[in-house]
Structure 1
């Protein structure tokens, strides 16, 4: 996520709590049935050598809508086509991330909500696919269906106590949506105790260090009113999602 600038105004010293919070939020959530990570700016826009980022994003939107239409045609012809429902969920999530990157919250939330519905259809046929259930939770998270998202994350970890992406995303959910950094840290420590692969362990340690650094900073105010809550924790910042989702 590119840093914000203050235009012509004099530079101000950044609040360390805000900086650390922004780092955690910018990490975003990762897809499990998707081929690449979800980031704040669509990958096609980042890599396009010719057109501007806006033009590349619009080209991507058109491509995704065509791909989505193909999958939707499949489920219309055969409502029992589980793989097509998974494709519908993935492409809808992609379109949600494109619209969020463009700042269109209404369309973004609508696509994420529709993605969640499609993943539910898929899970009706394949309930044991924990990767798809994590993505269902993520789409619920980004469409502000917070209770549904948490239910899905918990279901995955109950079935698969070693699902590292579920630990990662659920922890970020606790941090961003539930404003519970302690709960997030406890979850990541629990994951570390299960001896995850080295790359996952490194990420969990990094996340824990960021939460610890935030907790050591002096907090403004003495009560729990929103005005005394660090910026970025007052309301979940759900801008970390994006990228070109592809079915494995």
Structure 2
């Protein structure tokens, strides 16, 4: 498990289906930005949103092998049950990549309520001898749906064993004072984590992308990454967060 001597680095990025601010889809720009700006951080967790097409069935957009080579991470979607369609790399646009030292003990995709199909990718792992859960998701634009989606996640965790949990992704909560969907009274999940503005990419105004933890983990730092390659590749900036384990 991560501790103060070995902080864990997480990155989440909404890829906007590889469409940059010039309106052009270019998966190579995403791969290049990951290789130059994200891989150098040596993350243990990388969550990508809008990483497959929104066609029916969805199509893969990225050279995922190149992303894995650049980062040293492993896709958690080798099992067909972890994908939405044979040509997609992930599910409902979510792709989760983890450090190979994280040994999965249980994995599943949770379909979330709402008119637009969304999902949460849930992976429970053993990491440095201790259990941990990672949830990658992309929540709805409407607060009422975000609340329903977070409650669905909370309900799915009720029968699961208790363990330190990281939830990350594009949570679409723009309110600087926090929204109901992330409040423990609405979800029973005591999620916490600092904000950093990630959208829009040129001059971020709102912190749509988050890394949150509960319990036993703490997000010590959250930073929106920036570079010319990042600004050209998507409409969001990636969010990097460092996590440490709290003393028992």
Same fold (TM over 0.5): no
Which is richer in strand? Answer: 2
- Name the TM-score, length of structure 2 as normaliser: 0.30
Which is richer in helix? Answer: 1
- Name the TM-score, length of structure 1 as normaliser: 0.30
Higher relative contact order (CA 8 A, sep 6+): 1
